[in-house]
Chains A and B, each alone.
Chain A
Amino acid sequence: MPDLGKYAEAVLTSYAISLVLLAAIVLLSLRRSRRVKKELQEIEEKVKSNG
């Protein structure tokens, strides 16, 4: 860990906030992608079975 001196709080908070926000947008995007893909498959199967 580098010695951040008196600015440690500002630097560490910046990294923490940014990484949390980036992780959140990645996880939310992937979760919605999986959910929509699954729902579409179900609907397509239903449509096929209805002819």
Chain B
Amino acid sequence: MSRNSLWEYANPRKFLQTTDIVLPWVAWFAAVTLVLGLVWGFFFTPDDYRQGSTVKIVYLHVPAALMAINAWIMMLVASLIWIIRRHHVSALAARAAAPVGMVMTVIALLTGALWGQPMWGTWWAWDPRLTSFLILFLFYLGYMALWEAIENDDTAADLTSILCLVGSVFALLSRYAVNFWSQGLHQGASLSVQSGERMAMTFKLPLYVSMAAFALLFIALVLVRTRTEIRARRMRALLARERMGGA
């Protein structure tokens, strides 16, 4: 791959052509792995000796939480590309990812509450990880609202990129809060390379499949939504040109 080849996809036409081919494959893999991961996890895994059948919530909660954070990190990278290189597709990709990341955050928060009630005896606690996740959710809402509030696309991309940089602190805190503060109800990472109490392979394998499924679903949705944003931007440009021509 040549040094400049990655930037070819910053060309909207090239991006649309490439994703025309890639998108159906990603979407099919996402659908297949999602069905496989959730059916495997729900129907074919045993109850945990401590958590009972609530352990089945892990196949939704962990992948959704992972993607909620990773979506923001993807938005951060896209925003940095916009700030540094002014590629419109990257700004539009960040915009496209936000609602998907927000849905993942809501799933993580709700399934966490539903899991927490029988295990901790409470739906919610002002625990470092839970609180930073709630703040991340509010950042998603603010980010999306800011895009909608500003008419000029480039100004909106500039300001939302700055907001994305600030929000990254909470995306990282959501992941590492348990390590920073040894307090709160939430456990440490479910999957880790460090030694300690490990998840049994019976639970781990379907969890890996579910994590892959959520990641593929996220990619598929971001591609669909970025394509839409590219077309919507072109539409706004054509309408503006028409108005100028008519004036």
> In the complex, what residue of chain A is closest to B34 when comparing beta carbons?
A22
Is B110 positioned at the interface, with any CB of A under 8 Å from its CB? yes
**Contacting pair A14 B103 (CB below 8 A):** no
Q: A7-B52, A29-B225, A33-B227 are in contact. Are A22 and B111 (CB under 8 A)?
A: no
**Contacting pair A14 B60 (CB below 8 A):** yes
0/1 string, A20-35, CB within 8 A of B gives 1: 0110111001101100
Interface residues of A in 1-43 (CB under 8 A from B): 2-8, 10-11, 13-15, 17-18, 21-22, 24-26, 29-30, 32-33, 36-37, 39-40, 43
Q: Which residues of A contact B232 (CB under 8 A)?
A: 36, 40
> In the complex, what residue of chain A is closest to B217 when comparing beta carbons?
A22
In the complex, how many residue pairs between chain A and chain B have their CB atoms under 8 Å apart?
97
**Contacting pair A29 B221 (CB below 8 A):** yes
Q: Which residues of B contact A39 (CB under 8 A)?
A: 235
Question: What's the tally of chain A residues with a CB closer than 8 Å to chain B?
Answer: 32
Distance between Cα atoms of A33 and B23 in the complex (Å): 13
Is B142 positioned at the interface, with any CB of A under 8 Å from its CB? no
Question: What's the tally of chain B residues with a CB closer than 8 Å to chain A?
Answer: 39
A27 to chain B, nearest CB (A): 11
**Contacting pair B100 A25 (CB below 8 A):** yes
Interface residues of B in 14-69 (CB under 8 A from A): 34, 38, 42-43, 47, 52-54, 56-57, 60-61, 64
**Contacting pair A25 B111 (CB below 8 A):** no
Cβ contact of B53, chosen from A2, A24, A40, A43, cutoff 8 A? A2
Distance between Cα atoms of A21 and B102 in the complex (Å): 11
Distance between Cα atoms of A35 and B100 in the complex (Å): 19
26 CB-based A-B contacts, threshold 8 Å: A2-B53, A5-B47, A5-B53, A7-B52, A8-B53, A10-B54, A10-B118, A11-B56, A14-B114, A14-B115, A15-B38, A15-B42, A17-B110, A17-B111, A18-B107, A18-B110, A18-B111, A25-B99, A25-B221, A29-B99, A29-B100, A29-B224, A33-B228, A36-B231, A43-B239, A47-B241
- Closest 8 pairs (CB-CB, A-B): A4-B53, A14-B111, A33-B228, A18-B60, A25-B103, A7-B54, A14-B57, A7-B53
